[in-house]
Amino acid sequence: MVLINRFLTDCSTGEQLTVIKVAAGIRAKTRLANLGIVPGVTIIKRRAAPFRGPIEIIVKGTVLVIGRGLASKIIVNHKA
């Protein structure tokens, strides 16, 4: 199976993903790191809000909501 890096926004819901890179600003990046979203971590895309709204993910056993703009800067991969 070929692993292709994609943006979190482009994945379908229910997928188990590995974070590859967070290509956001330092502030958002620090925040996400504090919440456990660092390269190598496994997340699950849980749902996306209607009308191109924010993305809901499960990370470290908790549910986080991330704005679509930021979610589109998180690069993920299928869990190997």
Partner 1 sequence: MIKHKQKRKNAIKNLNDKRVINIALAGNANVGKSVIFNQLTGLSQTIGNWPGKTVELKEGHLDFLGYRFDIVDLPGIYSLSTYSLEEILSREYIVSDKVDVIINVIDATNLERNLFFTFQLLELKVPIILAINQMDILRKRNMELDFKKLEEYFKLPVIPVVAIRGIGVHQLVEEAIELYVYNRPHFHYIEGGKKLHENLTHHHYHNHHRHHFKNSKNEKEKTLKGKENFLFPDLSSILSYGKEVETKIKYLEKEIENSKDVPFNCNYPERFLAIKLLENDGEIIKLFNTSQRSKSVIKLAEKFRTELENYHGEEITTITSSEIYNNIRQIIEKVIISKPSGKRKTNFAAILDNLTTHSFWGYLILILVLIGAYLFTFLIGGFLGGLIENAFDIWSEKVFSIYGTDNFLISVFWYGAMGGFFGALGGVLVYVIPFFLIIEILQDSGYLPRAAFLMDRFMHSLGVHGKTIIPMILGFGCNVPACTGCRIMETEREKKISIALTSLVPCAAVMVVVLGLVGRYLGIGWVIILFGINFIVIIFVGKVLNKIMPGECTELIMEMHEFRVPNYSVIIKQTWVRSKEFIYKSMPIIIVIGIILELLLIFRVLDPINEIFAPVTVIWLGLPVITGIFLVYGILRKELTLILLEVLASSMSIPLLELLNPIQMIVFCAVTMLYIPCFVTIVIIARETNWKYALQISILEIGLALLIGGIINWSFVLFSNL
Specify the residue, 2 or 54, whose C-beta has the smaller distance to partner 1.
Answer: 54
Contacts with partner 1 by CB under 8 A lie at 22, 26-36, 38-41, 47, 49-54, 56, 60-70
User: Beta partners for 19?
Assistant: 76
Q: Which residues contact 66 (CB under 8 A, 6 or more apart)?
A: 8, 32, 54, 55, 56, 57, 74
Smallest gap from residue 43 Cβ to partner 1 (A): 13
- 19 vs 10: CA distance, rounded Å: 14
- Nearer Cβ to partner 1 (3/49): 49
CB of 42 to partner 1, least distance (A): 12
